[in-house]
Amino acid sequence: MAPRASSPALSENEFDIFDALAGGDEVEQETGLAGDLGIDLSIGGDDGSDDEAFIAAKQAAANRKNSNAPGKSGKKGGGFQSMGLNAALLKAITQKGFKVPTPIQRKAVPLILQGDDVVGMARTGSGKTAAFVIPMIEKLKTHSAKVGARGVIMLPSRELALQTLKVVKELGRGTDLRTILLVGGDSLEEQFNAMTTNPDIIIATPGRFLHLKVEMGLDLSSVQYIVFDEADRLFEMGFAAQLSEILYALPASRQTLLFSATLPKSLVEFARAGLQEPKLIRLDAESKISPDLKSAYFTIKSGDRDGALFHILDNIIKMPVGETEASKQAKEDATNTSKGKKRKRGGVNPNKDAPVEESTIIFAATKHRVEYLSTLLRGAGYPVSYVYGNLDQTARKEQIAEFRAGLTRVLVVTDVAARGVDMPHINHVINYDFPSQPKIFVHRVGRTARAGRKGWAYSLCRHVDLPYLIDLQMFLGKPLVVGRSSNEPNYAEDFVVGSLAPYQLEPSVELVNKQLADDEDLVNLMNVAEKGERQYQRTRNQASNQSVHRAKEMASSSKFAETHMLFNDDMHDALRAKEDMLERIQGFRPAETVFEIGKRGTGSETAEIMRKRRVTVERQKTKQQFNKAIEDQTSLKETTEEISADAPPDSDDDVQPGGGEYDSDSDELEVTVSQPTSKKAGADDYREDEFFMSYLPKENMAEEKAYGVQGGDAGNSNFVSAARAAEMSLVNDEIKGFADASKPRMRWDKKSKKYVSRANDEDGSKGAKMVRGESGQKIAASFRSGRFDDWRKANKVKMQRVGEMEAPNRTSQFNGGGRHYKHKAEKAPKQADRYRDDYHVQKKRVQEAKEKRIGHFKDGGAKSELKDADTVRKERRTQEKRKEKNARPSKKRKY
């Protein structure tokens, strides 16, 4: 009897030792296995202990890691395959290009699949969207025949919603899940129709979703899975009324997920979301921005800002002027199409992402500044796209599509595009207006250096922006390098500040002045932008007092005016000598005043007064320098003690459940994945972390203040008033929104004949018609306009209740019920006109229609003489009427 074949794979708990017992490949066993295991195996012996030793050795070899085996790659585990995902989803993930899960995906996906509420924070471009889309598709699996949406994704902007829809479509390619998009600017009737399709996933912005919920009377009791992407923005007061009404309608058993790149450690500010024992995951809490991002900060004068922008584009980014290759190809394709030629294979596809190498995003504060910059850059020859909050939805889509397709090189935007929007292959980000909050900077520069790619961020900083620059440096925790104080700065790890090279900046400033002199409309746009910026500066958040003092010291230092280290290679010895000379002239202080020049002795009264004054001033300067030296030593000592006391102990726990009160001091709530700080043995080793109470706070207060939803004064205990006063507005990019913060708190109400609080205006105190929602919140009466009832009657649609089985007879494109007309007519082209320029093109099209027998050429072009029954019946009736008319006797005239 022939020996049976060896087992193709070892079982989990048992091993096939038949080959060893039958004596097959004895040499390999003795040399390979025994040599690897380091034991002496005598298979032929009669001792039973040899069998046990062999089995134990075999099991040890099977359990050994691949990295220890020679010739193996040592692939680590923890991929998508180990998460228990279905085959269709794994295939879609592979087609998407995901090979290994990112840290946020590796931590968040298993917790979400377990059904836990998760609050996740990771830096921009780390894969947060896939971290909640993948488990959502895995949990929902297939389309449910029961009526009612099961998943909702809330986002703060339309562009981010469109991007999320694209990700959901790509990852859900192997399923029959139905996904719809509800954003402002689109047709309400189309969204009514989409809601009748019984969607499984709804991707929406809060305003439009609440509008449809109130207008259609939606029942959200079937929602199992809700995601708040960019949660810190959604829970600001700008969306307070919408979220309160939406959260009230959600079931208590739902799973709630919050994701953002900037989240505070304390979850008190998200208590309204109804989190139940949440897991907080804070990844990259120390790095905050991508390590592949290099940044440079340029100090400029207010009048040179436009010239500085041109200087960065021309000399640093080296952006070419004129049309892009994609734009030229698109025009060529359009010309060929008009001439009847076929479009070249591989031409420009407007739906395909193909940005140019020099693609740049410029961030401005107001929509008026965006319009001015786009006109200014377009006049200089740069292809520009622009986006701001109040731009029409169709225009926003077209502008972003042109930039994605590579038809333009520059995208000028307000902060509406700063959050979450994934622009592929962005290489440069320019902060034309310096951000007023550090977390806005994090979201802005997060558009570049994503998914392992390199990127640069350039920030223009005027004297009024210096306190915000210091706030940002404290938040990022990077060492400050001013001027040429460092020989080889690291632009990814250092905070390098300096001025632009004057000899390169002057031609750019002259170019801007020439454009303004030649274009009167551009001057008008600039004046409007200046007025809007003044309103913006009055209402933006204030920098900390400490940063204001440090900014004054920095501005008065000699290093502040030095050229940035980025231009060291372009500066030769003569230019450096010139710059040093100008610096010495700027810092020159004469030893005598004008009253003392040429005066000797005690003959002059004014000279004697100035000498006495100088003695007094010198004493004050000496005292101030002494006090400053003591303060510097004290602050250095406190900083050293803080670093040694706050060194975090090594911990192996990754994810721990959160407390019920969302306390920021609870160590069981936070998960921070970063490089462990190496702590040297010193005099403070006797401290026990469990019992020692430091007089310094454990948290970085500057960081927590910057991450907070309030974003204003930390001493303001009233969350509602603080958030109203310090709302980080991403959509108020025009003057209309800026003026509200500077208005008086009370106003005269003509209807009630008394003063009322302006804080209640958003609740309807101005006389606008408001209605009460289900939660008791005041909402606009326009949300109940009756448009849905009119649409339902016109289309004869009957809405099904949540929980009912889906009607099987809905066969339209959106399954929206009613009759939908489908065009079936085939029209042939008209006969060619020989007097037209495209006569030969028309003639060719007519010939093709004859060959294909389209339209009236269906029967070969000749008129058919066959008559159908209706035609015959009609002709007979006409002939009978004519016969009756003609056969009547004529009337005889009476004489």
Q: Do 210 and 307 belong together in one domain?
A: no
Q: Do 416 and 481 belong together in one domain?
A: yes
pLDDT digits (tens, 9 = 90+) for 665-723: 443 344 444 444 444 444 445 667 667 776 666 666 666 666 665 544 433 334 344 33
Last residue of a domain, one of 573, 599, 624: 573
Q: How confident is the model at residue 852 (pLDDT cuts 50, 70, 90)?
A: confident
What is the Cα–Cα distance from 532 to 737, expressed in whole angstroms?
A: 10
Q: Do 141 and 246 belong together in one domain?
A: yes
Q: What is the pLDDT of residue 718?
A: 42
**Domain for residue 13, yes or no?**
yes
Q: Do 136 and 61 belong together in one domain?
A: no
Q: What is the pLDDT of residue 765?
A: 43
Q: How confident is the model at residue 190 (pLDDT cuts 50, 70, 90)?
A: very high
3-state SS assignment for residue 155: coil
Count of domains observed in the chain: 5
Count the alpha carbons within 13 Å of 251 in the hemisphere toward its beta carbon: 15
Which range among 48-57, 360-369, 605-614, 831-840 shows the weakest confidence by mean pLDDT? 48-57
Q: What is the pLDDT of residue 28?
A: 40
Dihedral of the alpha carbons of 711, 717, 718, 720, in degrees to the nearest 10: 20
Point out which residues pair with 279 in neighbouring strands: 118
Q: How confident is the model at residue 212 (pLDDT cuts 50, 70, 90)?
A: very high
Point out which residues pair with 748 in neighbouring strands: 755
Which range among 61-75, 315-329, 408-422, 847-861 shows the weakest confidence by mean pLDDT? 61-75
Q: What is the pLDDT of residue 385?
A: 94
**Domain for residue 713, yes or no?**
no
**Domain for residue 461, yes or no?**
yes
What is the Cα–Cα distance from 280 to 285, expressed in whole angstroms?
A: 12
Q: What is the pLDDT of residue 588?
A: 72
Angle at 85 between CA 82 and CA 86, to 5 degrees: 130
Q: What is the pLDDT of residue 408?
A: 92
Q: Do 71 and 94 belong together in one domain?
A: no
Last residue of a domain, one of 75, 99, 116: 75
Q: What is the pLDDT of residue 117?
A: 93
Mean pLDDT of 764-792: 76
What is the Cα–Cα distance from 633 to 3, expressed in whole angstroms?
A: 84
What is the Cα–Cα distance from 132 to 123, expressed in whole angstroms?
A: 15
Q: What is the pLDDT of residue 171?
A: 94
**Domain for residue 539, yes or no?**
yes
Residue 131: pLDDT above 90?
Answer: yes
Q: Do 368 and 422 belong together in one domain?
A: yes
Left if phi > 0, otherwise alpha if psi is -120 to 50, otherwise beta: which for 372? Answer: alpha
Residues in contact with 583: Cβ distance below 8 Å, sequence separation at least 6, in sequence order: 558, 561, 562
DSSP string, 776-808: S-EEEGGGG-SHHHHHHHHHT--PPPTTSBPPT
Which segment, 187-191, 390-394, 749-753, is predicted with the most confidence on average? 187-191
pLDDT digits (tens, 9 = 90+) for 435-446: 998 988 988 898
Q: What is the pLDDT of residue 741?
A: 54
Q: What is the pLDDT of residue 369?
A: 95
Q: Do 181 and 107 belong together in one domain?
A: yes
The one-letter amino acid code at 442 reads V
Q: Do 256 and 122 belong together in one domain?
A: yes
Q: Do 301 and 269 belong together in one domain?
A: no
**Domain for residue 340, yes or no?**
no
Q: Do 161 and 36 belong together in one domain?
A: no
**Domain for residue 93, yes or no?**
yes
What is the Cα–Cα distance from 631 to 109, expressed in whole angstroms?
A: 49
Q: How confident is the model at residue 625 (pLDDT cuts 50, 70, 90)?
A: confident
Calculate the average pLDDT of the chain.
76
Last residue of a domain, one of 75, 98, 129: 75
Domain that holds residue 835: 824-859
**Domain for residue 567, yes or no?**
yes
Q: Do 148 and 270 belong together in one domain?
A: yes
**Domain for residue 602, yes or no?**
no
Residue with tokens 């209807």: 751
3-state SS assignment for residue 260: strand
Q: What is the pLDDT of residue 894?
A: 60
Mean pLDDT of 874-879: 93
Q: Do 104 and 128 belong together in one domain?
A: yes
Cβ 85 vs Cβ 167: under 8 Å:
no
Mean pLDDT of 822-839: 79
Residue 635: pLDDT above 80?
Answer: no
Write down how long the chain is.
Answer: 895
Closest CA to 32 of 69, 73, 80: 69
Residue 754 DSSP class = E
What is the Cα–Cα distance from 368 to 876, expressed in whole angstroms?
A: 74
Residue 815: pLDDT above 50?
Answer: no
Distances (CA, A) of 113 to 136, 228, 276, 299, 643: 8, 17, 15, 49, 38
Kindly state the tokens that stand for 833: 């006109």
To the question of pTM greater than 0.85 for the whole model, the response is no
Mean pLDDT of 774-797: 84
Q: What is the pLDDT of residue 790?
A: 92
More confident: 392 or 778: 392
Instruction: Give the domain CATH number at 189.
Output: 3.40.50.300
